[in-house]
Structures are given as C-alpha cells and as structure tokens.
Amino acid sequence: MNETPGMSLNVLVVDDELNIRKTLAMSLEADGHRVVGVSNAADAVAEAGRQSFDMAFVDLRLGATMGLDLVPELLAKSPWLRVVIITAHGSIDSAVETMRRGASDYLTKPFTPAQVRLVTERVMRVRQLELQVEGLTGGTGARPSDAMLKSASPAMQRVINLAQQVAQTDANVLLRGESGTGKGVVAQAIHAWSARREKPFATVACPTLSPQLLESELFGHARGAFTGAVRDNPGRIAGSDGGTLFLDEIGDLPLNLQPKLLRFVQDREYERVGESRTRRADVRMIAATNVDLDEAVRTGRFREDLLYRIKVVQLDLPPLRQRPEDVMDLAQRFLAELRRGKPVEGFTPEAEAAMRSYQWPGNIRELRNVMERALILCQSGLIGLEHLPGNFAQEQAASASMAIGDRVSLDELEELHIRRVLAKTRSLDEAAKVLGVDVATLWRRRKKYGI
C-alpha cells in the first residue's frame, strides 16, 4: 500500500521485453500510477518530448543500444525526472556508472511487485518534498492555511464557497480583485482542494519579466534559442504538467504572447522557443488580474477570445475595506504568525478602533505589513495607536474630533462620512445607496479623497 495515499506518478517504462513492460505496468497501475511503455530509446525520447513524466524505468540494455546512454537525454527534457535502471546483469561497476549518468536508483531482474513499490514510494517521497520546498520558495504552492480562508464577510464567503465548487472541476478560473486581496491564496486553495493537489502548482508573475523571458519561462526554450540560452529549459508549463499554472496579473501579458497562450489553453499544445516540435501538457489554468480586462479588450490590449477561455468561472475578491468584520480576525492571525515568542497579546481599544475605520488601500498585504511593523515597535503587552503608522492616528483623531457644526470644511466632513459609510457597508453599491448617490459619483469622490 502506498505510504503517500492520493499521490500518483506519470511513469515511463523503457524495456525491449514485452513481458517486462506488461509486468511493470500492471504493478504500477495497481497502485494508481499512469504508465506509458515503449521498447526502444527513440520512442522513449519521443514520448518524453510529448508529455511530462515523474519517473522512468529504463532497461540497461535496449537491443543494440545501452539504456545508460538514454538517461542524459531524458533528464535534459525533464530535469526533475527520477530514472531507475533495471537489468539482469547487475554489478557494482554498472551501478556506479548508472548513478554517474544521472539515474536515481537501480533494480536487478527478476524483481517483485514489492520491490517495484518500494522504489516507487521512495521517488514519491522525494517528489513530495520537492513540491513542499518549491512551495516555500514560490515555485509551487503548498496548501494555504485554512485560517486564511475563513471569513465573516458574506461577500468573501461566497467567493470561498464557489472556489470549493470549481476546484472539483478542471475549469479555467479568473480571479479579479485589487492588489493584495488574496488572489494568490485563493488560487493555491483551488489547487489544494482539487484532484491535482499532489501535482505541481506553478506561479508566473506576468509583469516581472520581459516578453522574451516571459515566453521562455512559460513555454521553455531549446539550447541556443537566443543569446544566453546555454541549456534547455523545459518551462513552467511542462513543469506543472498534471497540476495547476497560476498566471498572476495576466492583464500585463504582452499582446504577441497572447495567441500562443490561447492555443495552449484551447488545445493543450505548444512549442518551446527555438523548437518546431509540438508538445502537450495537461495543466489547469488559473489567472488573476487587478485591471478591468473587459476594458482592456475594448482598447485592444487584450484578446477577447483569450479572455473568454480563461474566465470559464470568474471570482471577484472583495477589497478589505468591504470586509470590516474580518480586519481584526486577520490582524490576530498575523500577530500569532509573526510575533515569534514576543509577549504581545493584542491591541488597545484605540488601536482596534483605528484599524476598523482605516480603509486599507493595500488590502490584506498592507494589513500584514502593518502588523509586522507594530510588532517591531511594541516590545510587550498590547499594540497601541502609537505603534501603527502615522496616518492611522491622524484618521482616528479626525474621526474622534470632527462633528456636525465644527469649524471644518464641507469637503472634510464629506470625506469622513464617506469613509465611515464604506467601513460599515459590504459593497460600493450598498455604500452608494446609503449615501444617496450613484456608483460613478461615489467612485469619483473616492478618487478625489484618495480613499
């Protein structure tokens, strides 16, 4: 029985003996793995070019060729691949040479299903550790904290419930929301709740790379494809085969790359930069944006057909100012995460009131940064107003002292009133109704006051 239930591998079996291929396939498939069997090196290279494998069993002798010579070719296409050499001619010298060529294990014929399972489970454990480490460094997503997905906000609860439903499908998802609202956390949650959870979760931030580097990062490149391409790069699509690819801020995707991405989203086919060979990958697409993609389509900055393909399901994440009931709960979670043994227990009533009324233009990301700053300044006891950034104290002072009939301008009163209404309503539509204006007018007022 697998020690890592629920995880399955894509396995390539390369052996010129039909009975060996069948025996291995039966043993591996009985444990839930997917198997492709071929009889020679040429077919093995072709299959590795068409799809991504986690593991390969390669016969030491493949007719007139040596399986050892195949190992570097397979690893060049899939650097993460674990190769197990199988042979009836076991010796210390061949084992050493096997490892020198890049194989990860060695199995002598005749072998039993238990031996196959043992070596496969070792690969699964290593693969899981790799995914966890990559998740910590941003390459793949570890399961996000369940606490970060709890919310008392009805709007956010709707987002989470829909995310749980769509996770059970392979539908492409578009996450919309302001910067810092938690789009990446929701994307990781969808992956963690899905049947793909044991496979990679890769993130590509579209604004951070030049068009050429972004194309190479997504689709990969062949050695020599451009200056500086000194080795093959399989690309994030190949690296997340079977899993999920998260394209952050897809609104910044260059126009010249959009047709290539559209083709992959439609047909799951693509070519690496500098190659003409068509490759395939089974990848679930989640995209995120903080811009209006419909407006980008109207202005010619984004393809309409690509937009329809990536937003089979659209989730709109509310900004933190529309989730006032979540502010202190999130603050307490960040406090627990960041204090690292410091004797800081909570917040003074003044600090809590300031945090509840603040508009959080940077959303959850800003809240976390404010908590980190406060913990640096507060040595013990409770975080007070003096430990929060200066604009918190200014807003709180203005809120506490300003009243109808005071010697203040109408603009100051209007700004304060709009801030208070926004803090107590769940959406711009609701706030506009309370204020007796239309949403467009409220939007202009918010822009005027920097709310």
Among 21, 73, 17, which residue's Cα sits nearest to residue 42? 73
Report the percent of the chain where pLDDT is more than 70: 82
Long-range pairs, 32-37, Cβ under 8 A, ≥24: 32/2, 32/8, 33/8, 33/9, 33/120, 34/8, 34/9, 34/10, 35/11, 36/10, 36/11, 36/12, 37/12, 37/13
Average pLDDT across the chain, whole number: 82
Per-residue pLDDT, 137? 40
Q: Cα separation of 342 and 351, whole Å?
A: 19
Summarised one tens digit per residue, pLDDT across range 181-218 is: 999 999 999 999 999 998 999 999 888 778 888 898 89
Torsion of CA 300, 305, 311, 313, to 10 degrees: 140
Mean pLDDT of 327-352: 88
Specify which residues 269 forms β-bridges with: 280
Greatest mean pLDDT range, 160-169, 350-359, 379-388 = 160-169
Tokens 């699509």 -> residue: 237
Q: Give CA–CA dist 441/443, Å, rounded.
A: 5
- Secondary structure class of 179 (helix, strand, coil): coil
- Tokens 């104290």, residue? 393
Per-residue CA distances from 38 to 24, 113, 210, 230 (Å): 12, 20, 40, 30
Q: How far is CA 167 from CA 120, 177, 189, in A?
A: 28, 19, 8
Is residue 451 within 8 Å of 422, Cβ to Cβ?
yes
Which ranges of 225-278 does DSSP label H, i.e. alpha helix?
235-239, 258-267
Helices (H) then strands (E): counts for the chain: 19, 16
What are the percentages of helix, strand and coil residues in the chain, rounded to 5? 50, 15, 35
Rounded to an integer, the average pLDDT of 83-97 is 70
- Over range 144-161, report the average pLDDT: 79
DSSP state of 271: -
Per DSSP, 142 falls in state: P
pTM for the full predicted model? 0.61
63: left (phi over 0), alpha (psi -120 to 50) or beta: left
pLDDT at 5: 41
- Domains of the chain (ranges plus CATH)? 10-134 (3.40.50.2300), 146-318 (3.40.50.300), 321-449 (1.10.8.60)
By C-alpha distance, which of 194, 188, 207, 192 is closest to 289? Answer: 207
**13-39: pLDDT as tens digits:** 999 888 888 889 888 888 878 888 898
pLDDT at 135 over 50: no
Q: Does residue 256 have a pLDDT over 90?
A: yes
- In angstroms, how far apart are the furthest CA atoms of the chain? 97
Say yes or no to pLDDT of 129 above 90: no
Contacts of 376 (CB under 8 A, 6+ apart): none
